[in-house]
Structure 1
Amino acid sequence: MTHEPSAAQKAIGDIAPKLADLTDEVLFGDVWEREGLSPRDRSLVTVTALVALYRSDQLGFHLKLALENGLREQELAETITHLAFYAGWPNAMGAAGQLKAILADAD
C-alpha cells in the first residue's frame, strides 16, 4: 500500500530526510497531537508566532492549516491587525497579503 508523501517529505525529504521525518513524527505526530491545546488554538499560536517573527516562508502553510483547523478569515485578519502594533507593521502587512492570496486561491 502506497501513501502520499507528507508536505515535509515533498518539500525537503530529498535534501534533509531526517528533518522531514522529525517534522512528521515529532512536530506533527507528537507536539500537534498533545491534549493541552486544540488544533485550532495551536494554529492561532503558531500563526501569531510566525507573523511576529516574520517567518513568511512557513506562514502560508500555517494560515491554510489554521483555516482547516476552524479559524475564520475574520479571526485571522483580526489577529494580524492586532499584531501590527506588537510585532511591527511590515510583518502584519506581509501576513495580510499572504492571507488575501490564500483566500483568493480558495475561491
Structure 2
Amino acid sequence: MKVKKILLWVGLMVIGGVAGFSVNNATVARFNIINSTCSVLNVAVDNHLLAPDQVRTLGQLTAQKLQNSLVISAFRLDQQQINAASAGSNCSQFMAGISEKSG
C-alpha cells in the first residue's frame, strides 16, 4: 500500500512538472522574450540608433533571418492585430513587421 502511494505521488509530481513547464513556456517565457526585445528597441530608438520608421522593417528582416523559430512565434500577431498596431509603439510596429507575410 505504501509503494502505491509513493508511485501515485511521483506520478502526480511528473504530471505537475509537465503542466508547469507547458504553462511557463506558453506564457511567462513569451512575456520575457517580448519584454526584453521591446526594451532594447526602445533604448535604440531613444538613443537615435534606430529611427522609429525603421522598426517595422527591422521586424520584417528579423522574421526573415529567424524564420519559424520559437522566439519568432512569440511575436506573431494575427491580421486584425497587425491592422490595429499602434503607429507610436515601437514594440507594436516590430511585432507587426515580424507578422507580415513577406512578398
Q: Which has the bigger relative contact order, CA under 8 A and spacing at least 6?
A: 2
Query: Is the structural similarity TM-score above 0.5?
Result: no
TM-score between the two structures when normalised by the length of structure 1: 0.33
TM-score, with structure 2 as normaliser: 0.34
Larger C-alpha radius of gyration, 1 or 2? 2
